[in-house]
């Protein structure tokens, strides 16, 4: 989930409709989506039986229709309709492709999983994404090992696993099995207006002292040093604080939090990161932003009311329509907090995102796997980048494309960072309750209603409760 | 034979709505009771029963109690504030002008005010939510704070201060509900025979006396119905809070209510069993409230 829940008109209407239905006096109606017939789940279809033909490694039935459901959020759904589905139809002219775009993945698909009439390919994203761990437990997700071992469309001598960013393989795993394909690459750190900095002659701060000094200079001009949206997008700041903790103490800080290690939230780097940012908010922030959502905050960013905004590289495309000519997105790494940060200046977070999976018990899982293989071809990936101005996990697919300045700055920052890449926090997907609690508590600590120490102990208490809760399936990660 | 035909006739009319009601209302309710005894995650095909574990967990859940506390505040404030304001307006609109011509009349322009008061009622909750988001916006673009800043005052974080947010939301709920109850009470007042007022007025009763000695006692049934409606509304608030405060009852869960927690647990955390247990608790709360209110306020009817 890369974009905070943008309430569209349609969503509102739906929500209100749901209210009438769900929350009448006595919200017992919630269970409207009944349980299934009670039969044991069938054995999941493991990655489709191999075929010797490198052009059709999964043995797709050329006549079978394929059902695709796309989350139509920040990326839209044109990339699927006009690129990937078109490529599939070109490969199998006899197959019909049923395309469905929605912003309510969970609401639309949950009953289908219970009844059994699932789409073959699902783009599971947005604020209402399906709980993948729960689906995996029930064997609803097809094993992608076969996909990763299948020959690449561009060069049959290479396997898919050799042509994608390695993070794809790490992030595919749920309960140790490859079940999820992350399709996009994003760069997260602080984003600023390069043209404003050039006009004012300001340099991007490399240390915390430079950062606050710039804050004073900006304050004199009526510009805020930093702001994040307190509504809908406070998790941008939770990410920011976690990445800062990783910069201070190394990726282990985040890995320990993900693995629910005892005392992970009370570790010194986490405390330092929270303290540093709470201080920035207290000295250079404006409490009004606690009541603004991401779009309102991003518009203010475009109006040069604030210098730095913690977000990912999708921001450029997200705000493309509103962006004035005097604004040029560029990425700035988090400044050095202490003189002894484990990661040197320049470390940024580079992560994969945008989940796709193939339904194990759909009608055409082989077709689903082939669809993902098409997405991972250079043609499919380049088409995605052209349509959405975002990079994919396919190596070299964007070569020769004319990328916008923000993406170019992100690519440059990644080169400069080299091996110092901050890892993603996976508890966001694993333990949503903990993550949601974090997005709530980050507002509380940033607003100064609790101290950083209290923030750490509250988060630790919640993490301990999750660890003890036997109804929550546990995940672990290595590196 | 005669009886058969009568009952057959009645049953013929009732069959379809009864079937619809059973399928779409009764059976989901019943199923919620069933699911509340399981740890169902919303996708598994089998139900695993855990007895009353979910209810035990509810008792120790801090957020559940916070939601209950908020329901308590809503239950006290929403009906009282709405009914008092609505009664006041209805009295002014219908009787406030004193004796004019035959019988009593409202204040000047009451036909116009009546329409204006009803406006909020026609707006969808979501529209009201978006509207008040703009009104409460914490920076200079907010309607209230824009005015405050222009007057040289500090802006107020209506929806971002934990001590203020619930009250700001209650104000919106009252604003939206008043119009409907003005109409409801106006209809009640129209049913009171005019000669009562004339007789009292002849005896020298002022408007205040008229209101407390004649209007209010004779409106008792209508007010009671309004009380139950508003009480049930106090157990909801989902849509407005979701749009205005956010889907976690921000800030810090200060505005959360049970429906928000049910939504969160069922659809975000896949704890459908636990969410159903909350739904069952909410069901009993609502029913208890309605029964208690109707019992304690029951009284002999006054024939007009």
Of chain B, the end-to-end C-alpha distance in Å amounts to 41
Cβ-defined contact of A31 to B269 (cutoff 8 Å): no
DSSP A156-200: TTSBHHHHB-HHHHHHTEETTEE--EEEEEEEEEEEEEHHHHHHH
Q: Which residue range(s) make up the domain with A116?
A: 42-184+351-406
B117 vs B70, higher pLDDT: B70
pLDDT in tens, A277-301: 999 999 999 999 999 999 999 999 9
Closest CA to B42 of A140, A73, A258, A440: A140
In whole angstroms, give the CA distance from residue A124 to residue A105. Answer: 7
Same domain, A167 and A209: no
pLDDT band at residue A24 under the 50/70/90 scheme: very low
In whole angstroms, give the CA distance from residue A182 to residue A1. Answer: 11
How many domains does the structure of chain A reveal?
2
Q: Which residue range(s) make up the domain with B120?
A: 36-296
Cβ-defined contact of A292 to B138 (cutoff 8 Å): yes
Asked if residue B46 is part of any domain, the answer here is: yes
Same domain, A240 and A318: yes
Cβ-defined contact of A26 to B279 (cutoff 8 Å): yes
pLDDT in tens, A104-146: 888 889 888 888 889 999 999 887 788 888 888 889 999 999 9
In whole angstroms, give the CA distance from residue A116 to residue A126. Answer: 23
How many domains does the structure of chain B reveal?
1
Q: Is the pLDDT of residue B287 over 80?
A: yes
Asked if residue B18 is part of any domain, the answer here is: no
**pTM for this one?**
0.84
B252 in contact with A at a CB cutoff of 8 Å?
A: yes
Lowest-confidence region among A12-21, A142-151, A339-348, B269-278: A12-21
Closest-CA residue of A relative to B57 is: A469
Same domain, A306 and A316: yes
Asked if residue B17 is part of any domain, the answer here is: no
Asked if residue B8 is part of any domain, the answer here is: no
Same domain, A206 and A304: yes
Closest-CA residue of B relative to A28 is: B279
Nearest to A15 among B39, B155, B239 (CB): B239
CATH of the domain at B42: 1.10.3720.10
Cβ-defined contact of A290 to B243 (cutoff 8 Å): no
Mean pLDDT of A441-464: 96
Task: Give the gap in angstroms from C-alpha B161 to the nearest C-alpha of chain A.
Answer: 9
Per cent of chain B over pLDDT 70 is: 95
Q: Is the pLDDT of residue A30 over 90?
A: no
Same domain, A261 and A216: yes
Q: With contact defined as beta carbons under 8 Å apart, do B190 and B94 qualify? A: yes
B55 in contact with A at a CB cutoff of 8 Å?
A: no
B135 in contact with A at a CB cutoff of 8 Å?
A: no
Same domain, A201 and A325: yes
DSSP A61-99: -TTS-EEEEEE-STT-SHIIIIIIHHHHHHH-TT--EEE
Q: Is the pLDDT of residue A33 over 60?
A: no
Write down the pLDDT at residue B114: 83
Collect all residues of chain B within an 8 Å Cβ-Cβ radius of residue A473: none
By CB neighbour count within 10 A (0-12 exposed, 13-18 middle, 19+ buried), where does A62 fall? exposed
Cβ-defined contact of B42 to A134 (cutoff 8 Å): yes
For residue A151, CA distances in Å to A140, A369, A373, B276 come to 25, 12, 9, 47
Backbone phi and psi for residue B7, each to the nearest 5 degrees, phi listed first: -65, -40
For residue A165, CA distances in Å to A144, A184, A229, A430 come to 16, 10, 31, 22
Q: What is the ipTM of this complex?
A: 0.82
Mean pLDDT of B96-109: 66
Collect all residues of chain A within an 8 Å Cβ-Cβ radius of residue B243: 7, 12, 15
Asked if residue B27 is part of any domain, the answer here is: no
B125 in contact with A at a CB cutoff of 8 Å?
A: yes
Q: Is the pLDDT of residue A11 over 50?
A: no
pLDDT band at residue B13 under the 50/70/90 scheme: confident
- The length of chain A, given as a count of residues: 479
Mean of the per-residue pLDDT values of chain B: 87
Nearest to B276 among A31, A41, A439 (CB): A31
pLDDT in tens, A154-201: 999 999 999 998 889 989 988 889 999 999 999 999 999 999 999 999
Q: Is the pLDDT of residue A37 over 80?
A: no
Mean of the per-residue pLDDT values of chain A: 87
Write down the pLDDT at residue B116: 87
Q: With contact defined as beta carbons under 8 Å apart, do A97 and A65 qualify? A: yes
CATH of the domain at A191: 3.40.190.10
B293 in contact with A at a CB cutoff of 8 Å?
A: no
Task: Give the gap in angstroms from C-alpha B120 to the nearest C-alpha of chain A.
Answer: 16
Collect all residues of chain A within an 8 Å Cβ-Cβ radius of residue B282: 26-28
Nearest to B28 among A32, A113, A440 (CB): A32
Q: Is the pLDDT of residue A13 over 80?
A: no
Closest-CA residue of B relative to A288 is: B138
Interface with chain A: mutation pick from B30, B45, B143, B176, highest number of A CBs within 10 Å: B45
Q: How, if at all, do strands B104-105 and B98-99 pair?
A: antiparallel
Asked if residue A35 is part of any domain, the answer here is: no
In whole angstroms, give the CA distance from residue A126 to residue A128. Answer: 5
Asked if residue B261 is part of any domain, the answer here is: yes
Cis peptide before B251 (omega within 30 of 0): yes
B264 in contact with A at a CB cutoff of 8 Å?
A: yes
Same domain, A177 and A195: no
Per cent of chain A over pLDDT 70 is: 89
Asked if residue A11 is part of any domain, the answer here is: no
Closest-CA residue of A relative to B31 is: A31
Collect all residues of chain B within an 8 Å Cβ-Cβ radius of residue A13: 124, 126
Asked if residue A10 is part of any domain, the answer here is: no
In whole angstroms, give the CA distance from residue A345 to residue A211. Answer: 13
Same domain, A147 and A134: yes
Residues 6+ apart with CB under 8 A from B19: none
In whole angstroms, give the CA distance from residue B23 to residue A29. Answer: 11
Task: Give the gap in angstroms from C-alpha A338 to the nearest C-alpha of chain B.
Answer: 31
Asked if residue A322 is part of any domain, the answer here is: yes
Whose structure tokens read 């009295």?
B91
Asked if residue A123 is part of any domain, the answer here is: yes
In whole angstroms, give the CA distance from residue A333 to residue A349. Answer: 9
Same domain, A341 and A439: yes
B230 in contact with A at a CB cutoff of 8 Å?
A: no
DSSP B109-135: THHHHHHHHHHHHHS-HHHHHHHHHHH
B32 in contact with A at a CB cutoff of 8 Å?
A: yes
Residues 6+ apart with CB under 8 A from A461: none
Collect all residues of chain A within an 8 Å Cβ-Cβ radius of residue B46: 35, 38, 40
pLDDT in tens, B185-220: 988 988 888 888 888 888 888 888 888 888 888 898
A256 vs B232, higher pLDDT: A256
Asked if residue A23 is part of any domain, the answer here is: no
Interface with chain A: mutation pick from B124, B160, B247, highest number of A CBs within 10 Å: B160
Asked if residue B93 is part of any domain, the answer here is: yes
Q: Is the pLDDT of residue A14 over 50?
A: no
Collect all residues of chain A within an 8 Å Cβ-Cβ radius of residue B272: 30-31
Same domain, A300 and A207: yes
């Amino acid at each position: 989930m890369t974009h905070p829940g943008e309430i569209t008109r349609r969503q509102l209407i739906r929500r209100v409709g749901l209210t009438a239905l769900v929350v009448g006096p006595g919200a017992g109606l919630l269970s409207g989506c009944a349980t299934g017939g009670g039969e044991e789940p069938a054995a999941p279809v493991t990655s489709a039986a191999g075929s010797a033909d490198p052009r059709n490694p999964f043995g797709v039935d050329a006549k079978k229709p394929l059902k695709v459901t796309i989350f139509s959020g920040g990326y839209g759904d044109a990339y699927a309709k006009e690129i990937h589905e078109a490529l599939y139809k070109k490969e199998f002219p006899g197959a019909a492709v049923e395309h469905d775009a929605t912003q309510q993945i969970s609401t639309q698909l949950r009953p289908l999983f219970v009844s059994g009439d699932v789409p073959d390919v699902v783009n599971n994203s947005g604020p209402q994404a399906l709980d993948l761990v729960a689906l995996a437990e029930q064997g609803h997700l097809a094993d992608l090992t076969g996909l990763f071992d299948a020959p690449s469309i561009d060069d049959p001598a290479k396997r898919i696993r050799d042509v994608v960013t390695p993070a794809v393989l790490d992030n595919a795993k749920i309960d140790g099995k490859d079940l999820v394909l992350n399709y996009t690459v994003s760069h997260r750190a602080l984003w600023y207006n390069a043209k404003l900095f050039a006009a004012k002659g300001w340099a991007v701060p490399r240390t915390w002292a430079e950062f606050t000094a710039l804050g004073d200079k900006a304050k004199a001009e009526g510009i805020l040093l930093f702001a994040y949206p307190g509504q809908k997008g406070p998790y941008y700041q939770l990410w920011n604080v976690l990445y800062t903790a990783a910069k201070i103490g190394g990726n282990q800080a985040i890995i320990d939090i993900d693995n629910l290690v005892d005392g992970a939230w009370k570790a010194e780097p986490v405390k330092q990161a929270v303290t540093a940012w709470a201080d920035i908010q207290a000295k250079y922030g404006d409490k009004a932003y606690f009541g603004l959502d991401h779009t309102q905050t991003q518009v203010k960013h475009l109006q040069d009311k604030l210098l730095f905004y913690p977000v990912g590289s999708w921001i450029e495309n997200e705000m493309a329509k509103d962006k004035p000519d005097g604004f040029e997105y560029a990425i700035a790494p988090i400044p050095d907090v202490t003189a002894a940060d484990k990661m040197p200046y320049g470390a940024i977070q580079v992560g994969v995102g945008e989940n796709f999976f193939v339904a194990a018990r759909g009608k055409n899982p082989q077709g689903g796997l082939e669809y993902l293989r098409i997405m991972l071809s250079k043609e499919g990936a380049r088409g995605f980048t052209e349509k959405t101005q975002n990079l994919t996990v396919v190596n070299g697919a964007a070569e020769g494309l004319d990328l916008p300045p923000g993406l170019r700055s992100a690519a440059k920052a990644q080169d400069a960072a080299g091996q110092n890449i901050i890892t993603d926090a996976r508890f966001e997907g694993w333990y949503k309750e903990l993550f949601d609690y974090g997005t709530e508590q980050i507002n509380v600590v940033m607003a100064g209603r609790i101290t950083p120490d209290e923030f750490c102990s509250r988060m630790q208490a919640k993490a301990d409760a999750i660890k003890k809760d036997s109804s929550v399936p546990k995940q672990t990660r290595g590196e | 034979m005669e009886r058969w035909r009568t009952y057959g006739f009645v049953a013929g009319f009732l069959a379809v709505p009864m079937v619809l009601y059973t399928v779409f209302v009764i059976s989901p309710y019943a199923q919620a009771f069933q699911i509340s005894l399981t740890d169902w995650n919303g996708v598994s095909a089998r139900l695993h029963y855990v007895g009353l574990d979910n209810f035990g967990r509810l008792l120790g859940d801090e957020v559940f109690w916070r939601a209950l506390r908020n329901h308590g505040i809503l239950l006290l404030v929403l009906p009282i504030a709405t009914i008092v304001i609505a009664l006041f307006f209805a009295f002014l609109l219908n009787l406030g002008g004193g004796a004019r011509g035959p019988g009593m009349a409202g204040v000047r322009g009451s036909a116009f005010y009546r329409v204006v008061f009803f406006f909020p009622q026609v707006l969808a909750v979501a529209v009201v939510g978006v509207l008040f988001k703009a009104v409460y916006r914490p920076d200079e673009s907010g309607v209230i704070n824009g005015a405050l800043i222009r007057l040289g005052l500090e802006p107020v974080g209506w929806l971002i201060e934990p001590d203020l947010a619930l009250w700001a939301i209650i104000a919106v709920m009252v604003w939206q509900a008043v119009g409907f109850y003005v109409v409801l009470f106006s209809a009640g007042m129209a049913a009171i025979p005019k000669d009562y007022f004339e007789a009292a007025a002849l005896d020298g009763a002022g408007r205040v006396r008229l209101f407390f000695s004649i209007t209010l006692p004779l409106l008792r049934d209508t007010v009671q119905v309004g009380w139950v409606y508003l009480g049930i509304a106090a157990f909801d608030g989902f849509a407005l809070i979701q749009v205005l405060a956010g889907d976690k009852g921000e800030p810090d869960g200060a505005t959360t209510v049970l429906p928000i927690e049910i939504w969160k647990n069922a659809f975000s955390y896949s704890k459908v069993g636990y969410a159903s247990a909350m739904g069952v608790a909410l069901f009993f709360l609502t029913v208890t409230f309605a029964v208690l209110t109707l019992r304690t306020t029951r009284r002999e009817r006054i024939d007009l």
